[in-house]
Structure 1
């Protein structure tokens, strides 16, 4: 599988649009503070109408959230899209959606958690995006994490990440990061990517160990893990077992469901819903060392 096309580097003066493709916005202070960080780098920020609306647990009705995405993606002056928050809802707006009919020019799309569906859908048409903090979490990132994201979209290379190696040797492949729960619900749908030659990177939040077990078992039964070259695991935040109930820990579940695949695996990398959410480019070539626990970003910038 070839690397996805990485959008052209951002430069001061470029226009970035803010959309809310998923859940209703609640963290207004953090949202505004994150916007100011982007503005401090010289970017023009335009907030889409209705971003602060809500429709149940969604940011607005599907057609309105889809229109936000279409408007931003088709705008020739817009160079990137910043997602307000995760939650749930991005898969709903991908029904009857076609990236290429809305625009043929690659531009940045930045987010994580529920935004996984958009990142993976864009990967399916050969365009790279960034699995990185949304606007409700970006301001709370440590300085190194903020700089990592800002550097990557500005065309600079980023450092390798170090975690806990489970063994399995060294492989190269195309990085495909995302939230485990959202990614699992793409299996068997038209949004499911081709996993040939892919290095998966998973994280999750507030999922009990038995739920993690159920999802990973679905991945095993689907047969797609035989196409995958390696797996990276980030934070599984607030995924502790319920009290006073017999359970495995989430670490035990991950080892049990993934440890026998015979491929390089690295855990405990600093990305996900915890205190550190290192930006991970989607669809770029990486090198995974399962023995040393290192993820290197070796893909060329296009």
Structure 2
């Protein structure tokens, strides 16, 4: 933990910068609502060079999206990087790019989830923390307590535990590694994957039929990717129903089948992910997972 870089906490009045590292922006009104929340908290918000660029389904070419990210990193007045949306495209940023050179720059918060998993995981490989949290286009849909929690985290205040459904397995401590399951699975075995030893995985997904969730988790098992993982915290698996006219397991049954024999603490139904409350999860922060009581607790 001592080698990990935790970005400085924010103070109202700080400048933050908006970038689009993945999909092209569609939700303009939702973006403006998210920006207004940041402004109402006293922050100066600057739009990056590619925030409304469109290149197919991407928010600009790989070079344009890398450049927007670099501009935010290299701007000494920028204290945090806000991602507009997920979609697809973050993994493409890391081809033929000397990402570790960014380590020479002071760390700053990167905030997002879903496809932003690629950016957060790449940060983890070079020793930087980040926040798995609402993107700007989903922020205004959060309840007040979740928005307060995001700013509590960014401004250095204590985070209350999250309550879910315990599957048993006792208690464990480890470092938190949040991710969208689909995005993370496609990063396994690549330079974007951080080491998983000692991790407590926090997984969520959206729009995947149960058999596809089975396929993803089976890949983790076949690769031995769960070896060294100390616990699993499951968020929302929304729109993951059995296809109409089909039969088979529900997504909850698939999760229990593929994870229930790992002999580690597991907690489900935690309030993070798509289509509902998306409580902030800091990357690489020490946590305690209680599989009996169903609690994810942040260790001071």
**TM-score (structure 1 length as normaliser):** 0.97
Q: Tell me what 1:56 maps to.
A: 56
**TM-score (structure 2 length as normaliser):** 0.97
Distance 1:189 1:63 in 2: 20
Distance 1:4 1:285 in 2: 12
> Are 2:18 and 1:21 equivalent residues in the alignment?
no
Deviation at 1:3, TM superposition (A): 7.5
CA deviation digits over 1:198-245, x for unaligned, max 9? Answer: 000000000000110000000001112011000000000000010111
CA deviation digits over 1:271-300, x for unaligned, max 9? Answer: 00021000000001000000000000014x
- Tell whether the 8 Å contact from 1:3 to 1:174 is kept in structure 2 after alignment: no
Of 98-107 and 31-40, more deviation after overlay is shown by 98-107
Distance 1:81 1:124 in 2: 18
- Tell whether the 8 Å contact from 2:86 to 2:114 is kept in structure 1 after alignment: yes
Q: Tell me what 1:4 maps to.
A: 4
Q: Tell me what 2:88 maps to.
A: 88
> Are 2:224 and 1:228 equivalent residues in the alignment?
no
Distance 2:212 2:128 in 1: 31
Map 1:35-114 → 2, pairs under 5 A: 35-102=35-102, 103-114=104-115
- Tell whether the 8 Å contact from 2:174 to 2:286 is kept in structure 1 after alignment: yes
Distance 1:189 1:15 in 2: 34
Distance 1:135 1:82 in 2: 7
Q: Tell me what 2:239 maps to.
A: 238
Of 259-268 and 97-106, more deviation after overlay is shown by 97-106
Q: Which runs of 5+ in 2 are unaligned?
A: none
Tell me, what secondary structure is at the counterpart of 1:66? helix
Deviation at 1:11, TM superposition (A): 0.6
Tell me, what secondary structure is at the counterpart of 1:82? strand
Map 1:201-220 → 2, pairs under 5 A: 201-220=202-221
Of 72-81 and 201-210, more deviation after overlay is shown by 72-81
- Tell whether the 8 Å contact from 1:287 to 1:296 is kept in structure 2 after alignment: yes
Q: Tell me what 1:247 maps to.
A: 248
Distance 1:254 1:36 in 2: 38
Q: Tell me what 1:196 maps to.
A: 197
Tell me, what secondary structure is at the counterpart of 1:45? strand
For these two proteins, the number of residue pairs brought into alignment is: 299
- Tell whether the 8 Å contact from 1:3 to 1:284 is kept in structure 2 after alignment: no
Deviation at 1:4, TM superposition (A): 3.3
- Tell whether the 8 Å contact from 1:212 to 1:253 is kept in structure 2 after alignment: yes
Q: Tell me what 2:142 maps to.
A: 141
Distance 2:77 2:201 in 1: 33
Tell me, what secondary structure is at the counterpart of 2:227? helix
Tell me, what secondary structure is at the counterpart of 1:227? coil
Map 1:110-189 → 2, pairs under 5 A: 110-189=111-190
Q: Tell me what 1:283 maps to.
A: 284
Kindly report the root-mean-square deviation, in angstroms, between the aligned alpha carbons of the 2 structures.
1.1
- Tell whether the 8 Å contact from 1:216 to 1:257 is kept in structure 2 after alignment: yes
Distance 1:19 1:97 in 2: 18
CA deviation digits over 1:38-74, x for unaligned, max 9? Answer: 1111111110123112111111111001100011011
Distance 1:285 1:100 in 2: 24
Distance 1:266 1:91 in 2: 28
Deviation at 1:2, TM superposition (A): 5.6
Q: Which runs of 5+ in 1 are unaligned?
A: none
